[in-house]
Amino acid sequence: MAKQYQFPKDFWWGAATSGPQSEGRFHKAHRNLFDYWYDHEPGAFWAGVGPDVASNFYNDFRQDIALMKQAGLNSVRTSIQWSRLIKGLETGEPDEDGVRFYNEVIDEFLRQGIRPIMNLHHFDLPYALYEKYGGWTNKKVAVLFADFAETCFALFGDRVKEWTTFNEPMVVAEGEYLYRFHYPLQVDGKKAVQCIYNLNLASAMAIERFRQSACEKQGGRIGIVINLTPAYPRSDAAEDLAAAAFAETFKNKAFLDPAVKGVFPPKLVEILRKDGVLWESTPEELDLIQRNTVDFLGVNYYQPFRAQAQTAFDDSEGWLPEKYFAPYEMPGRRMNPYRGWEIYPQAIYDIAINIRDNYGNIPWYVSENGMGVEGEEKFRQANGMIADDYRIDFIKEHLAWLHRGIAEGSNCFGYHLWTPIDCWSWSNAYKNRYGLIALNLANQQKTLKKSAYWFRDLAAHNGFTE
């Protein structure tokens, strides 16, 4: 018998992208870290494809937004690039073309009946601030970020009602200072820990500026987008449970707790202090973090993390969180072979219940979820459309578990797929495609995939039948 999955009234059915992954580098005031890395090491990027053009959103945004409307999206998250909007990184002087561009983008979203959600940092720190200050390891950058945020609120807060400070801030610390997948490609646990603290501080500073602006009076609210990878233990053995508990604390709670509760997890602070790698903080900063928590939460979910007890930690590169856990490959797990990620839809239910029970049932939405597939051209039909049934099935499975979480009282108000249009994905460039809308890199033509038509029906009916 068919089962119907109906979602709450006014549910967000949308998709997420970012400025650096969609716009291209046209007329930007500054380079960001990825621009710099590509300029100096293009061979580090898949097929040598960099961010110069991306999906050409800078030039095509009106047509692109029309395609998003055709795909049924009622909301879209993208980002305002610090490196595009601000000409004077120290003075805060806006760039004239950057202001024009984002004004026109916001107005076009609204004209098409799509709610714009604007994020302020998506891995795109201006390179000049890394060169001068060491990037997110320096609190001066947190202050300059808050200045940038304040400018955004003043320029666009009359129309943008939902803001987020950071997208996946843990990935900044992991990529830059733990696992070498973002520039500057360092392994330095102490820097990573300070980076985690400074990003939390920067988010709270931006929220404080938001509270001081006119945005709240204009009906605005502010949140943060965190990638949650629920940690599951290999077994019920005490050592595996302890490993999973620390992985959960480090990977998820290091941003979730300060954002929602205003405090860092005491267990995390205790261990980092014991190991001599605790961040530098002041009572005033900790008070600012405590006073400036989020109004809502965005959750990016792609895969779980499975942990087991650490038995052979290599400390040759200094302190790393893996001192307390090791990854575990569960036999028989379902995999996305293109991305190397486990597919485990049930975790989205576990996230929903965790937020309900342990984070005050704060309003939240799925801000990213999706499936990247290499070589999607092989699924192109005679009529020219890519038949990505695997993506439809992936979405259905995750929505079924999300629906259960909502039915059991979790305060979720939306679901955003990554991504509306196939976008440039950092050093992976266009290797894996995620979009509802296909991008032909050779001629920049964009066409709706089968999943886009399915998603349009999903949004129109505010649910689906399985």
Helices (H), 41-138: 57-70, 82-85, 96-111, 127-133
Helices (H), 218-309: 238-248, 254-261, 266-274, 283-291
- Residue 286's Cβ-side half-sphere holds a number of Cα atoms within 13 Å equal to 9
CB-count exposure of residue 238 (10 Å: 0-12, 13-18, 19+):
exposed
Q: Are 94 and 85 in contact (CB under 8 A)?
A: yes
Whether residue 1 has pLDDT greater than 90: no
Distance CA 370, CA 393 (A): 11
Rounded percentage of the chain residues whose pLDDT exceeds 70 = 100
Q: What is the distance, to the nearest Å, from the Cα of residue 17 to the centroid of all Cα atoms in its chain?
A: 9
Q: What is the distance, to the nearest Å, from the Cα of residue 460 to the centroid of all Cα atoms in its chain?
A: 26
pLDDT digits (tens, 9 = 90+) for 16-58: 999 999 999 999 999 999 999 999 999 999 999 999 999 999 9
pLDDT digits (tens, 9 = 90+) for 336-368: 988 889 999 999 999 999 999 999 999 999 999
Tell me the helix, strand and coil percentages in the chain, rounded to 5: 45, 20, 35
* Cα dihedral 297, 300, 306, 309 sign: negative
Question: Cβ neighbours of residue 266 under 8 Å, at least 6 residues apart?
Answer: none
Question: Which helix (H) or strand (E) covers residue 189, if one does?
Answer: helix 189-212
Distance CA 179, CA 185 (A): 7
Query: How confident is the model at residue 55, as a pLDDT?
Result: 97
- Whose CA is closest to 349, among 408, 279, 414? 408
The catalytic site residues sit at: 168, 368
Q: Given pLDDT bands bounded at 50, 70 and 90, which one contains residue 147?
A: very high
Provide the 3-class DSSP secondary structure of residue 14: strand
Query: How confident is the model at residue 227, as a pLDDT?
Result: 98
- Whose CA is closest to 271, among 354, 193, 205? 193
CA distances from 325 to 90, 151, 195 (A): 41, 42, 21
Mean pLDDT across the chain, nearest whole number?
A: 97
Structural domains of the chain in order of their starting residue, each with its CATH number: 11-465 (3.20.20.80)
pTM, entire model: 0.98
CA distances from 228 to 94, 239, 297, 303, 369 (A): 34, 22, 11, 8, 11
Distance CA 63, CA 72 (A): 15
pLDDT digits (tens, 9 = 90+) for 107-133: 999 999 999 999 999 999 999 999 999
